[in-house]
Amino acid sequence: MLDTIEELEEKIKGCNKCKLCKTRTNIVFGTGNKNADLMFIGEGPGQDEDIQGIPFVGKAGKLMNMAFEGIGINREDVYIANIVKCRPPLNRNPENDEAVACMDYLRNQVMLIKPKIIVLLGNVALKNILGNEFAITTARGKWVEKKGILYMPTFHPAALLRDDTKKIYFWNDLQEVKNKLESLNI
């Protein structure tokens, strides 16, 4: 485990622990406040993220930004990362060996950032962090506490682009997160 986010980011440069290194343009390390109380974990970079090296800058990210603005979450105040740091080809789900290879990096990030709340965006984040027994349709909107961190599973913003009816649930889940932050006085 490394002691600073900067050291960790430096270490990850040139990572070749899994096959995604062969097709990536940029490693998408993570972005935001290194001391955030609130962290978001997505699945993996898409095409826009791969090109820019920043998470959630494509269509799904823009939708998430709109929800942030509406609810009063400042993107600069939170930290955003993914289960895998390199783009899976054709935006397929990360494979198990890829998620496992990348997990130590994410663990190290969480250890250094020390968020109080982590929002898990979609099934891939949910299953890799809380376990395969969870499924997003039943777990979303319900708090799970593990090792002193509160987890809120919700739909991945890309799922909202495919199905409008999910938007209200995503919005409500983020509102619940905002309320919790306020009630914790942070």
Provide the binding-site residues for ligand URA, judged by CB under 6 A: 42-46, 49, 55-56, 58, 60-61, 82, 158
- 38-42 and 117-121: which strand pairing? parallel
Closest to ligand URA by CB, 98 vs 183, is 98
CB 18, CB 97: distance < 8 Å: yes
Min CB(182)–ligand URA separation in Å: 27
Closest to ligand URA by CB, 1 vs 69, is 69
Enter the tokens of residue 16. 């070749």
Min CB(152)–ligand URA separation in Å: 16
| CA–CA separation, 27 and 49 (whole Å) | 9
Enter the tokens of residue 130. 């809380």
| CA–CA separation, 64 and 46 (whole Å) | 15
Closest to ligand URA by CB, 82 vs 108, is 82
Closest to ligand URA by CB, 54 vs 181, is 54
Min CB(49)–ligand URA separation in Å: 4
By beta carbon distance, the residue nearest ligand URA is 42
Dmax over Cα atoms in the chain, in whole Å? 45
